């Protein structure tokens, strides 16, 4: 017993738990990546995750994971306890993501039964260096290097040269011309220039680095600084003078009191947090604060920072609790419920009840109650397979972050409707195409910063990821405000690559031209990058989307951005179908594929000498398939006037199918044909009808393909 | 008939580790065949079978057992016997071979027998060439003066269909997706 220690279940637990933790970690990090630094909550979160992973990987004896997570834990321990300033945030984010990638990679190895042998030393070294860097960053500022695991007093954001009695005080206002871009950056250049000469310096708006909108404020109200220095007005003007695009600079004397008051009177932004912070601002000397254990409120932030944090503080959503259930169990539950519904029908419509004169009012009451419950039960089981898109969308966050950084683009990702629920199977199938679309948007869609500035756009690109439910379908939209698609370029390229023959551009609609990018072997990007541009992407994307019964629509405004819309069904498990009969067999065709039903007279049937038949319908000629002949079904109708012709449309191809009769339209649960039976062309699955009998689901694409082959 | 079935299924349920050497026997034409009971899941009466076009003649189609859709094989046709009408004695033995669930249509269920492993005689090699049945038969057992032909269910359902099965594997995945 003792020797037979079950590591398998422990391993499963470890893998599952670690994966979950890493997911949380990544989400937390990406959520905060645009901030100036991590807030207390996320620092604690990351610390906790690393601590747990360290512990559990230690138990499982995966040393490299333990070492890496331990190192990162150290960093966050330090951050948590010492609140250092000037932590290079992006670098830190990088480190966290690197660790997350490393651990994920090792977990992958463990999962596939390999030994996790990734070399952690490089990563550990890097993080070590980083840790030393942020620690010494503090010590340079005169603070003591905090020993591990001790509380350290907070440090100041910027420390100006020492004060002296002979200091002069000035108020400096800078105004830029109306058409100037990125005033905040220009203002910062001025601040930077003045820092050289100033002993102390305050400015408003004070969030010029973190808040791009401050640029507009500066344009309107100008940029104001209070400066304490030894130099003259001219010195100040000459120091600022290097900044371009400036309209005028005003330098006025002011008193020490005014300086210490700061921008109190001038402050036009009625934000209370900021005002409160401002009160403390005049005493710019290091304030000794005794941090108390558990006191995780962020200290000594710039006013702008705390304002931003307050604004971006995520609303604490009530955590949903989940358990993971084997999909097989869900499937068998679904089968059982299907069976229950059928049993219910056999009980409620039992021939024994049909005795004339039987009083059944109580029975009927109970029966209707039963029906209600079973219907609800069916709805519940269907909803159990549905999952929100949240996780899928969060992964995109990471992709946008990684790719945009590598390409040197500044891109913001907006996510809308991430709680939209979709069948689990579908989620698995759209994850890759979605990733591709997002990458494309980052890589091809959004222009470089310079191009954006030249086009008069916000230098920060924006990608919107939206999901919504509409008419039984889920729309997933990837929208960017990049350069859009160039119709002429698309057309030329398609023609050059021989994808469209010799047709003139005017023969295509706008949307058709956009669809060119989904053709195999098409890529408008001349240069192949690491992420996209090989031209194999979009056709695969489209194939994947089609595999789950969806389609991709492309819309674009040249210079204004593109919009890719994936339309996918809510679930694969249920389709709306028309049940029909041919001979003794029952077939189902998806309602969406059916264009119309017609009764056809003999004279509409065209017969070729080789036996091939066509139907002339409203001056158009359609290929004609007799299902009974195609599948050799006996006892079916031979005369065309006795049966019904169904006109089907699939990918702009039409075909007429001859059947005996229609039975009903209903929602059907799609089940695979048991793999034991070899694949029959034209059949995509089977389903159980209300009476327990089985119907075969016709696959139009296969049917057409089979016909073309002949 | 259905009472008999219930009895039989009860018996199936009771069988546990001691299944070794137990065979479910059934009648096809004049012969009595046996199949190791470990493969047998349950026995159901004949029910409506949905034909699937363009498949092998011995696969009769699909049946629905409590929401599970499984293919059924007519053992008669598989053993190259003349087909005959299904009667109320006709049964479907649901077997599970390496996670493939298949129903076997047999003329009549005979019962469960226990055969000592030593008593199983290998089929005479001579018969292999002239009788189509023998490739599915892995042994003979004499019980109460009657010879039972013991079938290898794996060969019965696969054998030459291996290729078809492999072709089918990806198709199955797609359908499941």
A218-227 pLDDT, tens per residue?
777 777 777 7
Which of A336, A548, A678 lies at the smallest CB-CB distance from B55? A678
| Inter-chain CB proximity A684 and B52 less than 8 Å | no
Nearest Cα of chain A lies from the Cα of B175 at a distance, in angstroms, of: 5
Lowest mean pLDDT among A9-23, A89-103, A205-219, A520-534: A520-534
Q: Which residue of B has its CA nearest to A674?
A: B70
Residue B93 pLDDT class (50, 70, 90 cuts): very high
Distance of CA A212 to the CA centre of its chain: 24
Sign (positive/negative) of CA torsion A627, A630, A631, A634? positive
- What is the DSSP secondary-structure string of A240-282? HTT-SSEEEEEEEE--HHHHHHTTTTT-----HHHHHHHHHTT
Residue B105 pLDDT class (50, 70, 90 cuts): very high
Lowest mean pLDDT among A7-11, A100-104, A603-607: A7-11
A429 chain-B contacts, CB cut-off 8 A? 177
**For residue A422, pLDDT beyond 80:** yes
Lowest mean pLDDT among A20-24, A267-271, B72-76: A267-271
CA distance A534 to A545: 19
Nearest Cα of chain B lies from the Cα of A332 at a distance, in angstroms, of: 8
State the DSSP code for B19: G
A548 chain-B contacts, CB cut-off 8 A? 177
| Strand stretches in A288-442, DSSP E | 386-388, 411-416, 421-423
Q: How many CB pairs under 8 A join A and B?
A: 101
Query: Helices A183-195 & A233-240, crossing angle to 10 degrees?
Result: 130
**For residue A605, pLDDT beyond 80:** yes
**For residue A440, pLDDT beyond 70:** yes
Lowest mean pLDDT among A98-102, A459-463, A492-496: A492-496
CA distance A661 to A636: 10
Q: Match 């139009």 to its residue by tokens.
A: A700
| Inter-chain CB proximity A688 and B175 less than 8 Å | no
Q: Which residue of B has its CA nearest to A340?
A: B66
CA distance A110 to A480: 38
| Inter-chain CB proximity B51 and A693 less than 8 Å | no
**For residue B103, pLDDT beyond 90:** yes
| Inter-chain CB proximity B50 and A695 less than 8 Å | yes
**For residue B164, pLDDT beyond 50:** no
Q: State the best of B44, B45, B47, B53 to mutate against chain A, taking most chain A CBs within 10 Å.
A: B53
Which of A338, A425, A680 lies at the smallest CB-CB distance from B55? A680
Chain A residues touching chain B at CB-CB below 8 Å: 334-336, 338-339, 425, 429, 547-548, 572, 584-586, 630-633, 671-681, 683-686, 688, 692-696
**For residue A272, pLDDT beyond 50:** no
pLDDT at A326: 81
Report chain B's mean pLDDT, rounded to a whole number.
78
Please write the tens of the pLDDT for every residue from A49-93.
888 888 888 877 788 888 888 888 888 888 877 777 777 787 888
- pLDDT more than 90, % of chain A: 2
CA distance B93 to B44: 7
Q: Which residue has the higher pLDDT, B87 or A297?
A: B87
Query: Helices A327-348 & A361-384, crossing angle to 10 degrees?
Result: 160
| Inter-chain CB proximity B62 and A334 less than 8 Å | no
Interval A485-497 mean pLDDT = 82
**For residue A303, pLDDT beyond 70:** no
Residue A181 pLDDT class (50, 70, 90 cuts): low
pLDDT at B162: 43
Lowest mean pLDDT among A66-75, A210-219, A410-419, A437-446: A210-219
pLDDT at B104: 92
| Inter-chain CB proximity A675 and B171 less than 8 Å | yes
Is residue A101 within 8 Å of residue A93, measured between CB atoms?
no
B176 chain-A contacts, CB cut-off 8 A? 672
Is residue A491 within 8 Å of residue A508, measured between CB atoms?
yes
Query: Which B residues 36-55 touch A at CB under 8 Å?
Result: 48, 50-55
A666: enclosing H helix or E strand: strand A661-669
B50 chain-A contacts, CB cut-off 8 A? 585-586, 686, 693-696
Please write the tens of the pLDDT for every residue from A654-703.
889 999 989 888 777 778 888 888 878 888 888 887 677 889 998 888 88
Residue B62 pLDDT class (50, 70, 90 cuts): very high
B62 chain-A contacts, CB cut-off 8 A? 673-674, 677, 686, 694
Q: Which residue has the higher pLDDT, A135 or A644?
A: A644
CA distance A281 to A262: 7
Q: Which residue of B has its CA nearest to A333?
A: B67
Residue A295 pLDDT class (50, 70, 90 cuts): very low
pLDDT at A412: 86
pLDDT at A177: 72
B59-65 vs B68-74, strand pairing mode: antiparallel
pLDDT at A292: 45
B51 chain-A contacts, CB cut-off 8 A? 584-585, 633
- The residues facing A473 across adjacent strands are A470, A569
CA distance A73 to A68: 9
B71 touches chain A (CB under 8 A): yes
Residue A180 pLDDT class (50, 70, 90 cuts): low
| Inter-chain CB proximity B165 and A678 less than 8 Å | yes
Q: Which residue of A has its CA nearest to B52?
A: A696
pLDDT at A457: 84
| Inter-chain CB proximity A686 and B50 less than 8 Å | yes
- Find the farthest-apart pair of alpha carbons in chain A and give their distance in angstroms, rounded: 114
| Inter-chain CB proximity B50 and A693 less than 8 Å | yes
pLDDT at A572: 66
Q: Which residue has the higher pLDDT, A367 or A504?
A: A367
Judge if the upstream peptide bond of residue A205 is cis by omega within 30 degrees of 0.
yes
B169 touches chain A (CB under 8 A): yes
Integer angstrom CA distances of residue A332 from A328, A335, A336, B8, B22: 6, 5, 6, 25, 29
pLDDT at A529: 52
pLDDT at A283: 43
Which of A548, A585, A674 lies at the smallest CB-CB distance from B71? A674
Interval A601-630 mean pLDDT = 84
Integer angstrom CA distances of residue A146 from A75, A79, A143, B39: 13, 11, 8, 70
Is residue A473 within 8 Å of residue A568, measured between CB atoms?
yes
> Which pair of tokens denotes residue A634?
């006996």
**B66 class by beta-carbon count within 10 Å (0-12 exposed, 13-18 middle, 19+ buried):** middle
Q: Which residue has the higher pLDDT, A297 or B55?
A: B55
Report chain A's mean pLDDT, rounded to a whole number.
75
Is residue A156 within 8 Å of residue A85, measured between CB atoms?
yes
Q: State the best of B48, B52, B157 to mutate against chain A, taking most chain A CBs within 10 Å.
A: B52
A584 chain-B contacts, CB cut-off 8 A? 51
| Inter-chain CB proximity B168 and A678 less than 8 Å | yes
């Amino acid at each position: 017993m003792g020797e037979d220690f079950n590591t398998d279940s422990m391993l499963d637990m470890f893998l599952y738990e670690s994966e979950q933790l890493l997911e949380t970690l990544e989400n937390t990090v990406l959520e905060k990546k645009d901030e100036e630094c991590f807030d207390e909550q996320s620092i604690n979160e990351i610390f906790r995750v690393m601590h747990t992973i360290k512990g559990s990987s230690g138990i499982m004896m995966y040393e490299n994971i333990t070492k890496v997570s331990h190192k990162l834990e150290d960093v966050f321990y330090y951050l948590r306890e010492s609140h250092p300033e000037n932590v290079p945030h992006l670098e830190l984010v990088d480190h966290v993501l690197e660790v997350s990638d490393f651990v994920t990679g090792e977990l992958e190895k463990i999962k596939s039964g390999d030994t996790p042998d990734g070399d952690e030393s490089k990563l550990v070294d890097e993080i070590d260096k980083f840790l030393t860097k942020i620690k010494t960053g503090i010590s340079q500022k005169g603070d003591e290097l905090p020993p591990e695991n001790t509380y350290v007093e907070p440090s100041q954001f910027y420390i100006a040269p020492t004060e002296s009695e002979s200091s002069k005080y000035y108020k400096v206002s800078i105004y830029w011309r109306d058409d100037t871009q990125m005033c905040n950056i220009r203002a910062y250049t001025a601040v930077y220039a003045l820092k050289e000469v100033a002993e102390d310096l305050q400015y408003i708006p004070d969030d010029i680095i973190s808040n791009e909108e401050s640029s507009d404020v500066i344009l309107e109200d100008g940029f104001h600084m209070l400066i304490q220095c030894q130099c003259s007005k001219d010195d100040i003007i000459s120091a600022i003078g290097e900044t371009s695009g400036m309209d005028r600079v005003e330098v006025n004397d002011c008193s020490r009191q005014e300086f210490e008051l700061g921008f109190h009177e001038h402050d036009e932004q009625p934000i209370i947090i900021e005002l409160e912070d401002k009160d403390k601002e005049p005493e710019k000397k290091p304030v000794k604060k005794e941090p108390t254990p558990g006191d995780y409120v962020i200290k000594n932030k710039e006013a702008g920072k705390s304002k931003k944090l307050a604004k971006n503080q995520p609303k604490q959503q009530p955590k949903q609790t989940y358990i993971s259930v084997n999909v097989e169990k869900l499937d068998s539950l679904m089968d059982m419920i299907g069976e229950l519904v059928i049993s219910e029908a056999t009980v409620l419509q039992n021939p024994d009840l049909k005795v004339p004169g039987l009083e059944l009012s109580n029975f009927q009451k109970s029966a209707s109650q039963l029906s209600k419950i079973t219907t609800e039960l069916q709805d519940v089981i269907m909803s159990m397979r549905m999952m929100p898109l949240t996780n899928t969308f969060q992964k995109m966050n990471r992709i946008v972050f990684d790719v945009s950084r590598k390409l040197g683009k500044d891109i913001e990702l907006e996510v809308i409707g991430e709680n939209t629920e979709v069948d689990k199977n579908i989620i698995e199938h759209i994850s890759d195409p979605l990733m591709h679309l997002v990458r494309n948007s980052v890589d091809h869609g959004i222009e470089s910063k310079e191009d954006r500035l030249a086009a008069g756009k916000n230098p920060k690109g924006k990608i919107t990821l939206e999901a919504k439910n509409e008419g039984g379908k889920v729309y997933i939209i990837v929208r960017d405000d990049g350069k859009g698609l160039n119709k002429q370029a698309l057309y030329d390229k398609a023609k050059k690559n021989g994808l469209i023959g010799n047709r003139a551009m005017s023969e295509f609609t706008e949307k058709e031209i956009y669809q060119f990018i989904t053709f195999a072997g098409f890529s408008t990007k001349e240069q192949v990058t690491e992420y996209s541009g090989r031209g194999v992407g979009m056709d695969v994307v489209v194939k994947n989307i089609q595999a789950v019964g969806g389609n991709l629509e492309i819309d674009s405004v040249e210079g204004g951005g593109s919009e890719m819309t994936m339309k996918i069904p809510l679930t694969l498990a249920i389709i709306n179908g028309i049940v029909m009969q041919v001979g003794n067999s029952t077939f189902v065709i998806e309602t969406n594929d059916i264009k119309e039903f017609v009764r056809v007279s003999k004279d509409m049937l065209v017969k070729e000498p080789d036996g091939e038949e066509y139907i002339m319908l409203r001056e158009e000629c359609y290929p004609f398939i007799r299902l009974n002949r195609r599948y050799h079904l006996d006892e079916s109708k031979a005369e065309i006037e006795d049966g019904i012709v169904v006109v089907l449309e699939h990918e702009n191809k039409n075909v007429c199918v001859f059947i005996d009769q229609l039975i009903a339209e209903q929602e059907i649960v799609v089940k695979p044909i048991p793999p034991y039976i070899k694949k029959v062309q034209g059949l995509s699955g089977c389903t159980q009808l209300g009476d327990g009998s089985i119907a075969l689901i016709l696959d139009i694409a296969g049917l057409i393909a089979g016909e073309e082959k002949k | 008939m259905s009472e008999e079935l219930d009895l039989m299924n009860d018996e199936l349920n009771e069988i546990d580790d001691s299944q070794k050497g137990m065979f479910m026997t059934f009648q096809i034409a004049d012969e009595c065949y046996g199949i190791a009971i470990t493969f047998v899941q349950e026995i159901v009466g004949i029910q409506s079978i949905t034909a699937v076009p363009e498949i092998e003649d011995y696969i009769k189609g699909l049946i629905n057992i409590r929401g599970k859709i499984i293919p059924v094989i007519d053992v008669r046709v598989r053993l190259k016997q003349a087909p005959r009408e299904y009667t109320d004695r006709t049964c479907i033995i649901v077997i599970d071979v390496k996670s493939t669930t298949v129903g076997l249509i047999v003329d009549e269920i005979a019962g469960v027998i226990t055969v000592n492993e030593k008593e199983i005689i290998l089929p005479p090699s001579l018969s292999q060439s002239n009788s189509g049945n023998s490739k599915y038969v892995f042994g003979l057992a004499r019980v109460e003066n009657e010879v039972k032909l013991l079938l290898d269910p794996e060969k019965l359902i696969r054998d030459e269909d291996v290729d078809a099965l492999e072709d089918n594997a990806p198709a199955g995945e797609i359908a499941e997706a």
